[in-house]
Amino acid sequence: MKYIRRSQDRGTVNLGWLSSKHSFSFGHYYDSNHMGVEVLRVINDDYVAAGEGFEPHGHRDMEIVSYVLEGGLAHKDSQGNEQVIRAGEVQRMSAGTGITHSEYNVSDADPTRFLQIWIRPKENGVVPSYQQKAIKQSGALTLLVSPLGEENSLTINQDADIYRLMLDINQSTPLAIKRHSGYIHIISGTLALDDTVLSAGDGMALLGEAFPHLEAKSMHGSVEALWFDLPKL
């Protein structure tokens, strides 16, 4: 089964300092038809105004991945981690038994844009942990997050993989679902995934079926996207 989530249908938040698009229910935006896909619970496309950010707040029992697209995000948490995540870098925070953190735009002049991704953990009550890396693109698909940190990826407390997909104009690549379902989120450009055309902000899930011949092809220009290989919830 295919499930398409169009960019214009996402939930919206505008707090002045924060402008965000929510692919799934989050915070004050709730829609029972859009509660996530398998263990993938949140994809928020966040723009944080210059010099602004998220005050210290807590999480527990969630795998939180941040992918910075523009600018820089200053992270500080109760485990003693204090880092700046720059454009192109990926951060993973396992909240586990509980962690408090803050995130601020490091620029006083320009906004920071990042994708905030939440994935339900495989095991609750783990010791909180933190990782951050700049992972160089290698081919069309580059592994960013995986259970065991294969191919220099970040680790995650869940049987799920996250890939960065980058295609030049008219380039194509096969996609494989190794587990139960797949989800793609388009960051920029226009992509044809088999017979479906997806543009920036769009997402599509391929749920619980065999899709042996998936092919992703860029249209009109280059494409950047995230591809999630997900276990059954």
Which pLDDT value is given to residue 211? 73
Provide the pairing of β-strand 72-77 with 82-86. antiparallel
Which pLDDT value is given to residue 213? 76
**Quick count: other Cβ atoms within 10 Å of Cβ 132?**
18
**CA–CA separation, 167 vs 153, rounded Å?**
20
Once rounded to an integer, what is the mean pLDDT over residues 118-143? 97
Contact present, 76 and 102 (Cβ < 8 Å) = yes
Once rounded to an integer, what is the mean pLDDT over residues 125-138? 96
**CA–CA separation, 232 vs 70, rounded Å?**
32
Of the candidates 13, 45, 65, which has an alpha carbon nearest to the alpha carbon of residue 186?
A: 45
Contact present, 46 and 58 (Cβ < 8 Å) = no
**CA–CA separation, 109 vs 104, rounded Å?**
13
Question: What are the φ/ψ torsions at residue 150 (nearest 5 degrees)?
Answer: -60, 150
pLDDT band, very low/low/confident/very high, at 62 (cuts 50, 70, 90): very high
For the full predicted model, state whether its pTM sits above 0.95. yes
Contact present, 22 and 30 (Cβ < 8 Å) = no
Is 90 exceeded by the pLDDT of residue 109?
yes
pLDDT band, very low/low/confident/very high, at 168 (cuts 50, 70, 90): very high
Fold exhibited by the domain 2-230: Jelly Rolls (2.60.120)
Which pLDDT value is given to residue 1? 87
